[in-house]
Amino acid sequence: MRATTTSVALGLLAAAANAAPFKTSSIKRQDAGKIVAAHFMIGIMANRESAADYDDDMKRAKAAGIDAFALNIAKDDYTDAQLNYAYESAANNDMKVFISFDYNYFETGENELVGAKLKEYCAKPGQLQVDGKCFVSSFNGDNDPSKLFNANTIRAAAGTDLYLVPNLSPTGIRDATSVGDIDGSFNWIGWDSNGANRAPTPESNVTTSDFDAKYTEWLGGKTYMAPVSPWFFTNFASKAWNFPGDLLWFRRWNEILALAPQMIEIITWNDYGESHYIGPDAETSKHTDDGSSAWANGMPHGGWLEMAEPYITAYKAGAKEISVAQDKLVYWYRPSPKAACGAFDGIDTLQDAVFVVALLQSAGTVTVTSGGNTQSFEAPAGASAFQVAMGTGKQTFTLARDGADVFGATGTLEITENCSPVNLNAFVGVAKGDAALQK
């Protein structure tokens, strides 16, 4: 979401938690492959000049097993140009895309406009089709009476078969749209919270699994598009807080394998403003800077995408455990301990720790050194997660077997006591083979 946008969807579940044919190919929900999407912010793409500017994103995502990008759009004067580039690139790279209408910007009286927009794009070769219908989603759409998603109006204006999976909630404001009017729903809430769009408290802790349960019960067998997100930190003047990240990325993927929803949406591919990007680094991705470079530059997250690959494969196969093709250590940490950062909304829910996920073909010894703190762990084959108390200085990660080092890595970012301005983003790296890669 943009710097001016507040993620208000969380608050909607507070009470509940506390008490015609197309030429394009179609993906079937019932296929073993299922569908993996990733949220993609078009709002920061104003400076892209051709479909080629999207090719790297499409190729990276496809290589990781992602099927489609959810193109989050508002009503900017560059939106249509960028949508056309993205659709063209998707078709050129055997990827799919679909529009996710951001109802922080679309109003109740503009649902016909939304339908008309779909009429323009649904038959394009890059469009995701589900059960032979044009797939559509949204961000928000049922929390503000002036900005309500109306499924029936949109269907009529589109003039074609739609598969509607908007971001509506079990307790949202109802206009003419009921659960009977949609094909499913997307849950944006990928982080534990207090149920009211802030970090959890001892008195109110609504988990990602709590939201899964509410949505699946409400939908009654209709498509549930579940969220998967690694992190959340934002520090704009109008929007500054964090949700607990820590080992969320590891925990959530294991929840997804157990839950096996019909679809998942990764939050996000490129939202640098909220620090949950897993695509290209902020410095290398062609986009306009909304101010998030202050905490996103120099903070690569591609290791999270690499970690997700075996989980995506397992999810699509219906497996409950991953299969590891190559030994890797995926590690991440914040640049400073909490005390150096001072007061910040949600900071108390973070641990002063360094995190590592071992993806191993066979058991091994993982050793983590964070400043002056060193700890070793016996890691089994498969995926396992560990953490070590954060220490200032270098951060080193090593895999050994039978007393001999297999490979190791030292993060290129040292942890320091300098936290001005506040940066609670994560630095993510990967160690594998005989080289360390900051992704």
What tens digit of pLDDT does each residue of 130-180 get?
Answer: 999 999 999 999 989 999 999 999 999 999 999 999 999 998 886 667 899
> What's the whole-number mean pLDDT along residues 395-405?
97
Q: Which residue type does 400 have?
A: A
The whole-angstrom separation of Cα 92 and Cα 95 is 8
Place 369 in a pLDDT band, splitting at 50, 70 and 90.
Answer: very high
The whole-angstrom separation of Cα 42 and Cα 76 is 10
The pTM (predicted TM-score) of the whole model is 0.93
SS3 390: coil
Place 26 in a pLDDT band, splitting at 50, 70 and 90.
Answer: low
Q: Which residue type does 249 have?
A: W
The whole-angstrom separation of Cα 224 and Cα 179 is 12
Residue with the two structure tokens 């909490």:
338
CATH number at residue 396: 2.60.40
Q: Is pLDDT of 17 > 50?
A: no
Place 348 in a pLDDT band, splitting at 50, 70 and 90.
Answer: very high
Looking at 294, 317, 340, the residue that finishes a domain is: 317
> 27 in a domain, yes or no?
no
Contact between residue 371 and residue 336 where contact means Cβ atoms under 8 Å apart: no
> 110 in a domain, yes or no?
yes
289-318 pLDDT, tens digit per residue, is: 999 999 999 999 999 999 999 999 999 999
102 and 245, same structural domain?
yes
The whole-angstrom separation of Cα 233 and Cα 242 is 4
Looking at 265, 297, 317, the residue that finishes a domain is: 317
Q: What is the pLDDT of residue 22?
A: 27
First to last CA, the chain: 23
**Domain count across the chain:** 2
Of 242, 305, 256, the C-alpha closest to 277 is: 305
Strand 129-130, strand 96-102: pairing: unpaired
360 and 295, same structural domain?
no
Q: What is the pLDDT of residue 298?
A: 98
Looking at 317, 352, 378, the residue that finishes a domain is: 317
265 and 349, same structural domain?
no
| Sign of the dihedral through C-alpha 226, 229, 233, 234 | negative
State which residues form the domain around 60.
Answer: 35-317
375 and 269, same structural domain?
no
Q: What is the pLDDT of residue 15?
A: 37
Q: Is pLDDT of 14 > 50?
A: no
User: CB neighbours of 395 closer than 8 A, spacing ≥ 6?
Assistant: 331, 333, 354, 368, 369, 370, 371, 410, 411, 413, 414, 415
The whole-angstrom separation of Cα 326 and Cα 407 is 12
* Calculated CA dihedral for residues 271, 272, 275, 280, nearest 10 degrees: 90
CATH number at residue 136: 3.20.20.80
Q: What is the pLDDT of residue 171?
A: 85
Contact between residue 61 and residue 95 where contact means Cβ atoms under 8 Å apart: yes
176-214 pLDDT, tens digit per residue, is: 678 999 999 999 999 999 999 999 999 999 999 999 999
Q: Is pLDDT of 361 > 50?
A: yes
Q: What is the pLDDT of residue 238?
A: 95
The whole-angstrom separation of Cα 213 and Cα 216 is 5
